[in-house]
Amino acid sequence: MLRYQLTHPTILAALASAGHGSRVLISDGHYPHTTGANPAAERVYLNLAPDRLLVTEVLAALTDAVPIESATVMSPPPDQPEPPVFTAFRTALPHLPALAALDRFAFYDTARGPDTALVIATGDRRTYANLLLTLGVRQD
């Protein structure tokens, strides 16, 4: 029996086949899932309806199951304020010193890289609610 909350079989299989340094993209409902990520990455579509599921809900399940070494967000243009969802990301990842930030096109380029092993599409309608996680190593 599993000791954590995550039970989605496809996500578990993708995480089990990923390793240290592999990336997991949790994307909002606005994200170009087909063209904005590594074509070889496993894709899981959890975007059943608007705001079902939220990126932060998926993040909570992942943080319970795997070590996260770093997190990168898609930053808005400099003339826009920081999206409130970034505060929720920091709260969910208190062990990280900071969130790395990339502009939209650099974020897409990074997500398209060969290290992105898993893309989880959500129905989150919050803007800039995209999070690219880098997996770490178990400490115990």
> Both tokens of residue 51?
């705001």
Q: How many angstroms separate the most distant Cα atoms in the chain? A: 49
Asked whether 99 and 83 are in contact (CB, 8 A), the reply is no
In this prediction, residue 3 carries a pLDDT of 75
Say what the pLDDT of residue 139 is: 79
Hey, where are the domains in the chain? 9-135
The model's pLDDT over 18-75, given as tens digits with 9 standing for 90+, comes to 999 999 999 999 999 999 999 999 999 999 999 999 999 999 999 999 999 999 999 9
Is the pLDDT reported for residue 9 higher than 60? yes
Task: Give pLDDT tens digits for 92-127.
Answer: 999 999 999 999 999 999 999 999 999 999 999 999
Tell me the average pLDDT of the chain. Answer: 95
Q: Which residue has the tokens 């996500």?
A: 11
Per DSSP, the three-state class of 69 is: strand
What pLDDT does residue 125 have? 97
The two tokens of residue 82 are 């920081």
To the nearest 10 degrees (0 to 180), the angle between helices 55-65 and 9-17 is: 50
**CATH level 3 topology of 9-135:** RbsD-like fold (3.40.1650)
Amino acid present at 30: H
